[in-house]
Structure 1
Amino acid sequence: MDKPLPSCPRSQPSANYEQWFTMENTPNFDMCPTCYEGVFADTPFAYYFKRRRPQELTISRYCDFSSPWMRLAWLLTVKQQRERPDLICALARIFEKERPCPNEREIANGIWFGIPDPRDGRHIANFVVCPCDKAYLEALFPSVRGYFTMIPPTDPRIARKYTCSIRATSRRFPKYLDLLVDLDEEALKRNRPVNFEPFIQLARAHAFKGECQRDKALFHKGWHFIPQLPEFTVCEECYDDVIRPADQDRNKLASMFFRAMQPLPDEDIEGTSCCLYSNRMRRVWDRVAHDEDFKYLKRKAVERKQEESRLNRRKRDLEDYIERAGMYMQGSVEVDKARRQLRDVEDEWKEWE
């Protein structure tokens, strides 16, 4: 059971697959054969899963085990030597009851939970958790129950739009969860209340630091970049994670970046995104930082910018067409084709990054 987790091929909803597994007493839980065979088959846990009957396969489904939360539940199950997949069951039942995490969507006037700061009793600024992810946290880490409290509706911050700070799509998600794994494990080992102060400090550290927006196009924002290479824009968070440590180690390329965020001199009309969020570009940076190879960095940065611009133009054209079609052509062959092409463009960019 210590084998690496397989990459899930069914993370997006589809009605094109015939074989699915589900779990006893959780009828809305779906798992693809790849994840079942790669994780649970030939283990004592296989007993808890069964194939779906053919008459149950008519709706669009995606593999629930593609979720980082479910995979963490499994890793904790193995680590804690549990005999039943009760953590996975708990998350599945929460998903049935709670509205899913809004992920990257900004929500105003919603129900949010936060962490009261012991110093003044007020919730830590810019740290909010949706009800679903709060329930996930408390199911996986019982020692933290009670630390996430509802932000009062009268709090003036609720008038603003927020994204969930614990969303699985955030680069901060692994940092938060890795720390909670350690804190909860220590509390269980010592049989005492969790020492939550390290998590509070981490939330405070992120409170006023702009979070990486990945490939989202932003306008009129400040960036870290090399004056001779404005195509390679880096956000505050990625700069602090990657470039600043290299600069402190006296790396030649890292020292070429503006240390203070600057507006781009000639910003593209399509906006600007962070170039250092993806694993691919971080590997590029590791190579050029080691070799101090500015020419290679420039070539890769320009390639990325050109491809991003090309696909963004194509994406914008398709979105404009779908919007113009409006309600009069919804469901038509032309609109359906445009939607498929839009998905293809998005998939092509994911493959590129």
Structure 2
Amino acid sequence: MPLVRPPPQSTSAPPSQAPQEKQFPTLGVCSRTNYVAGLDDWLHITSPKHFPDFDLCPDCYNTSFRNTRYGPCFSTVPPKPANTSTSCDFSGLWVRIAYVWLFSNNAPDLTLMGNVAAIQHDEDGPCPNLNREDPEVKKGGNPAVTRRWYCLHDPKTNTLVEDLTFCSGCVANVNLIYPCLNGIFRLVANGQKLPATCDLMTLGNAQARGFQYFDCMVEVAEKTMATGTRDVSPLVEYIRKWAAIPFCKKGDIVTGERRYSLPSTVPDFTACEECYTRHIQPLLDTHPQPRVLSQLESSVPTNSGFTCDLYSPRLQQYFQEYSTTNNVQSYREKLTARNTKLQETKMQLQRMKQEHQQLKTQSNMHMNMMRVEQSSAMMSSMAWTTSRWSAPPVDWRGVNSQLTQGNELAMKAAMVLDNMALLEKEWKEFWE
């Protein structure tokens, strides 16, 4: 649509009229992301318009809407038929994004959120990354799908930024939530269906990068609404810079990517390209430059794996201290202690995982034996009832014995799981 030119700049507003920091809603974890039947406590958006296909669970209502101006927009609805399964629409990522946009802009109602939930996708369907049943999605990856794809259009060069591809499902949601961004994405290859992946609504280790791209889009939308002029140059520049850089694998093994290391001073240290760009490259502009920069070496991609030692805030703090103090011994000791703890934790978790599996298997075995004993006892009792003799009491000793052993083993398995959770929590809080 045509853009309105910005009005002339006015004199600066007094402090009392200064723009306030935006407020954001509380977004809790939805308890009904999967379809369930037999529940009669669903809510609908009923004001100012009724969205009969938008179902909200009570937990999400109480967490995100009850104590806001949007609470009165919802009403309870009559129970659904007993055989109707329903999931909470507020568990959808795009619905939540729409709500954050409405909330932060103090919108009068939730019509946009209802429209996003009811969006009609083209024949290619919604974003493939949101298909929870896809094996690649379950692993935290992006499935490659043959469909029509979009790329960001650079109006300065009248070309497509082909470093990233976006599916029609994500583009449709962006256009609906942020109308001022309509047209920034253009079809690739004149709309031919090609195999590719969506780089926006990503999961796993790539999720943070996808959200960063999305945040840049939101900034463009906000500035467009404030000025009346759309400038996608910052988004184009950001994508051109980061799209070619592999995302950090967050502690997982990295293969086939450039690595940065300190072989002569801190042999344990390796960093991926993203973390080098974010945390080391800015040091080139400092004066005086840290000595660590002269010791740093980069190597071309190989099949030998490595892990990144800059992916967490703790590791970044260690490196920052080293670059400031140049205390090689201290940095070595911290990395060595952490790596030793990591190996110990991995071994403990692997052992506990095997123990849990063994206990569960043994528990299931006893439960199966319990059913056999139960069937045998009942058959024995029935045999007595068909004879002319008085039946003795049913002997449940075998059943009770198997049940007791099965429950004890199940409790031990649950305790192992709890201990695994505590060990993982300890690693995240004190070592990661």
TM-score normalised by the chain length of structure 2: 0.58
Equivalent-residue separation in structure 2 for 1:236 and 1:28 (angstroms) = 43
3-state DSSP class of the match of 1:47?
Answer: helix
Pairwise CA distance, 1:86? 2.7
Q: 1:198 aligns with which of 225, 234, 238?
A: 234
Pairwise CA distance, 1:203? 1.9
Q: Kindly report which structure 2 residues correspond to 1:187-226, keeping only aligned pairs within 5 A, or say none.
A: 187-192=224-229, 194-226=230-262
Cα distance change, pair 239–311 in 1 and its aligned pair in 2 (3 A): farther
Equivalent-residue separation in structure 2 for 1:17 and 1:135 (angstroms) = 33
Does 2:325 match 1:298?
Answer: no
Q: Kindly report which structure 2 residues correspond to 1:304-319, keeping only aligned pairs within 5 A, or say none.
A: 305-306=342-343, 310=347
Percent identical among aligned pairs is 17
Does 2:78 match 1:40?
Answer: no
Does 2:180 match 1:143?
Answer: yes
Q: Is residue 149–residue 166 contact of structure 2 (8 Å, CA) maintained in 1?
A: yes
3-state DSSP class of the match of 1:125?
Answer: strand
- The answer for unaligned runs of 5 or more in structure 1 is 318-331
Does 2:91 match 1:80?
Answer: no
Q: Is residue 238–residue 277 contact of structure 1 (8 Å, CA) maintained in 2?
A: yes
3-state DSSP class of the match of 2:259?
Answer: strand
Equivalent-residue separation in structure 2 for 1:230 and 1:136 (angstroms) = 47
Pairwise CA distance, 1:214? 3.5
Equivalent-residue separation in structure 2 for 1:105 and 1:241 (angstroms) = 24
State the match for 1:27 in structure 2: 53
Pairwise CA distance, 1:138? 1.2
State the match for 2:126 in structure 1: 99
**RMSD, matched Cα:** 4.8
State the match for 2:403 in structure 1: none
Q: Which structure's CA Rg is the greater one?
A: 2
Equivalent-residue separation in structure 2 for 1:59 and 1:257 (angstroms) = 61
Q: Is residue 115–residue 149 contact of structure 1 (8 Å, CA) maintained in 2?
A: yes
- The answer for unaligned runs of 5 or more in structure 2 is 1-21, 46-50, 130-136, 355-367, 369-409
3-state DSSP class of the match of 2:298?
Answer: coil
3-state DSSP class of the match of 2:180?
Answer: helix
Pairwise CA distance, 1:139? 1.8
Pairwise CA distance, 1:302? 0.7
Q: Kindly report which structure 2 residues correspond to 1:258-297, keeping only aligned pairs within 5 A, or say none.
A: 258-262=296-300, 267=304, 271-279=305-313, 281-282=315-316, 285=319, 293-295=330-332, 297=334
Equivalent-residue separation in structure 2 for 1:240 and 1:166 (angstroms) = 23
AA partner of residue 109 (structure 2): R
Pairwise CA distance, 1:254? 5.1
Q: Kindly report which structure 2 residues correspond to 1:101-116, keeping only aligned pairs within 5 A, or say none.
A: 101-102=128-129, 104-116=141-153
TM-score normalised by the chain length of structure 1: 0.69
3-state DSSP class of the match of 1:27?
Answer: strand
Aligned residues: 324
Equivalent-residue separation in structure 1 for 2:317 and 2:39 (angstroms) = 38
3-state DSSP class of the match of 2:166?
Answer: coil
Does 2:199 match 1:164?
Answer: yes
Q: Is residue 126–residue 170 contact of structure 2 (8 Å, CA) maintained in 1?
A: no
Give per-residue Cα distances to partners, 1:146-198, cap 9 Å, x unaligned: 12112127889x45x43424536532234323332232222222334x11222
Q: 1:240 aligns with which of 277, 285, 292?
A: 277
Which stretch has the larger CA shift, 71-80 or 195-204? 71-80
